[in-house]
Amino acid sequence: MRRFCSLALACAAVLAAQTADRIWTARYVVTMDAQRRVIENGAVAIQGDHIAAVGPRAEIERRFAAGRRLDRPNALIAPGLIDAHTHAPMSLFRGIADDKRLQDWLEKYIFPAEAKNVNAEFVRWGTRLACFEMALAGTTTFADMYYFEDALADAVKEAGLRGVLGQTIIGFPAPDYKTAADALAGTERYLRRFRNDPLITPAVAPHAVYTTGDDVLKSARALANKYGAPLLIHLSETRRENEETRAKRGMSPTQLLESLGVLDGPVLAAHGVWLDDADLAILKKHGAGLAHCPTSNAKLASGVAPVVKILSLGIAMGLGTDGFAGSNDDADLMKEMPLAAKLQKVTLMDAEALPAREALEMATIIGARALGLEKQIGSIEPGKRADLITIRLDGPNATPMYNIYSLIVYSLKAGDVNDVMVNGRLIVRDRRMLTLDAASVLGKAAAYQQQVWASWTGSQK
């Protein structure tokens, strides 16, 4: 009788439990919530596209019943990483022009290579390759600026990632649109198509103040405001950009953007290496977000952004990789976090500058704020989108562990990422991409390598 009663109580508890689609459990759950809770022996319940609950494993298993489980006793669960600035299709130009100055890199190598090779199919396959790499490195959301952005968005949805994707508008003939007017019209069609998409936030992306005229910049802002879309732009990346703008216009690039009204709406500005105090005051006033790209800024000798000062002002500055073709050579935010921290320490001669937890915040919740998505992603909290990753803790580089933030930022690598979920959909399991075919993507990339090389060597004869 006692056994029957116990069984009946157990059945009643199961029937009373809420239903979840999935439960993930791990040695730790690193929430990045407001309290920065780290839950030992934790669990996350997922319902549809969102997080239903997070807490100790015993509590979650008492509250929820789930048909599918992922138990990772030798791993941690963290929010998916957020790449605040990149150019995904440029993965197919990886290594084409290294060790160059930015203007030379753009004008002598990248712009000519793009003119000869970039079309919608190139963008589609380059994005697939980039998404493959991002997902395996734990990136679940990225901000992008490129051409044929509708084809890019299709590829991102196919891969199952989340994107804030900006159609580039530039002041000279581009691979997709030959005039700025055509680019603006095409951008409006793109904004209409992806409005209210669950994975894609369409954006307007005038390239920079030095490549885009004033009237076009103002039109880009007006178009973004019409559709409630963010505006993405490169800003104060190099000393040359700053000096030439001041010489020609009598003001900094940031002051110019403010004078044109470009900052009157959501903005995500990439780089910000040469921002001064007046610029930062303007950006703070307008609530603009920034993207810090430490590898790119170091490799191109652009300088080191004043990250500590920017964060101290409450300006949201996320982390970006900035592409694959000379400014960076991969899509690895696990590499950007420690470099961002170390560059601040050595530049400021202060070992306490930008500690590990803040570096991880830049790649998660602060990055989400920079993108205007902090209510949806960036932390593991009930109601937020189910963008989650697991990172293995059973390798020698993860042992011993005294501080989990230090371990994540300074010791763990992209190769330790094991599982990836975006919007409640599992897209990587046991380091195997579930949404893209590796052989097809890598084979097509090899074919494009031959095409790009032939077009480049032919132009040099």
Q: Tell me: pLDDT of 15 over 60.
A: no
Give the residue-averaged pLDDT of 385-398.
Answer: 98
CB atoms within 10 A of CB 236: 26
Give the residue-averaged pLDDT of 441-449.
Answer: 96
Query: Do 118 and 148 contact (CB within 8 A), yes or no?
Result: yes
Question: What does the pLDDT look like over 273-325, one tens digit per residue?
Answer: 999 999 999 999 999 999 999 999 999 999 999 999 999 999 999 999 997 87
pLDDT of residue 458: 60
pLDDT of residue 325: 79
Q: Tell me: pLDDT of 54 over 70.
A: yes
Q: Tell me: pLDDT of 10 over 50.
A: no
Closest C-alpha to 421, from 156, 133, 152, 139: 139
Question: What does the pLDDT look like over 190-244, one tens digit per residue?
Answer: 999 999 999 999 999 999 999 999 999 999 999 999 999 999 999 999 999 999 9
Residue 16 pLDDT level (bands cut at 50, 70, 90): low
Please list the alpha-helical segments (H only) found in 84-179. 102-104, 111-117, 120-136, 149-159
Q: Return mean pLDDT, the chain.
A: 94
Give the residue-averaged pLDDT of 104-127.
Answer: 89
Question: What does the pLDDT look like over 155-192, one tens digit per residue?
Answer: 999 999 999 999 999 999 999 999 999 999 999 999 99
pLDDT of residue 229: 98
The two structure tokens encoding residue 137: 């490195």
The two structure tokens encoding residue 42: 């934790």
pLDDT of residue 106: 76
Torsion over CA: 328, 456, 241, 219 (sign): negative
Q: Tell me: pLDDT of 455 over 90.
A: no
For residues 98 and 101, give the distance between their C-alpha atoms in angstroms, rounded to a whole number: 9
What separation in angstroms does the CA of 451 have from each of 131, 455, 457?
A: 21, 6, 10
Closest C-alpha to 211, from 187, 188, 186, 237: 237
pLDDT of residue 443: 97
Q: Tell me: pLDDT of 27 over 50.
A: yes
pLDDT of residue 131: 98
Pick the CATH number of 18-79+379-425 from 2.30.40.10, 3.40.50.300, 2.60.120.10, 3.80.10.10: 2.30.40.10
Point out the least confidently predicted range of 8-17, 68-77, 127-136, 274-283.
Answer: 8-17
Q: Tell me: pLDDT of 3 over 70.
A: no
pLDDT of residue 5: 46
Q: Tell me: pLDDT of 107 over 90.
A: no
Residue 108 pLDDT level (bands cut at 50, 70, 90): confident
Locate tokens 């712009």: which residue? Answer: 111
Give the residue-averaged pLDDT of 399-427.
Answer: 98
Q: Tell me: pLDDT of 14 over 50.
A: no
Cβ neighbours of residue 46 closer than 8 Å, sequence gap 6 or more? 20, 21, 22, 23, 24, 52, 66, 386, 388, 421, 424
Locate tokens 């009157």: which residue? Answer: 264
Query: Do 321 and 414 contact (CB within 8 A), yes or no?
Result: no
For residues 371 and 163, give the distance between their C-alpha atoms in angstroms, rounded to a whole number: 10
For residues 449 and 446, give the distance between their C-alpha atoms in angstroms, rounded to a whole number: 5
Q: Tell me: pLDDT of 369 over 50.
A: yes
Q: Tell me: pLDDT of 447 over 60.
A: yes
Query: Do 169 and 212 contact (CB within 8 A), yes or no?
Result: yes
**What is residue 298's three-state secondary structure?**
helix
Query: Do 90 and 123 contact (CB within 8 A), yes or no?
Result: no
Residue 8 pLDDT level (bands cut at 50, 70, 90): very low
Outline which parts of the chain fall under CATH 3.20.20.140: 81-370
The two structure tokens encoding residue 114: 């793009």
Query: Do 291 and 333 contact (CB within 8 A), yes or no?
Result: no
Residue 9 pLDDT level (bands cut at 50, 70, 90): very low
- In CATH terms, the superfamily for domain 81-370 is Metal-dependent hydrolases (3.20.20.140)
Cβ neighbours of residue 97 closer than 8 Å, sequence gap 6 or more? 105, 108, 109, 110, 113, 325, 326
Residue 393 pLDDT level (bands cut at 50, 70, 90): very high
Outline which parts of the chain fall under CATH 2.30.40.10: 18-79+379-425
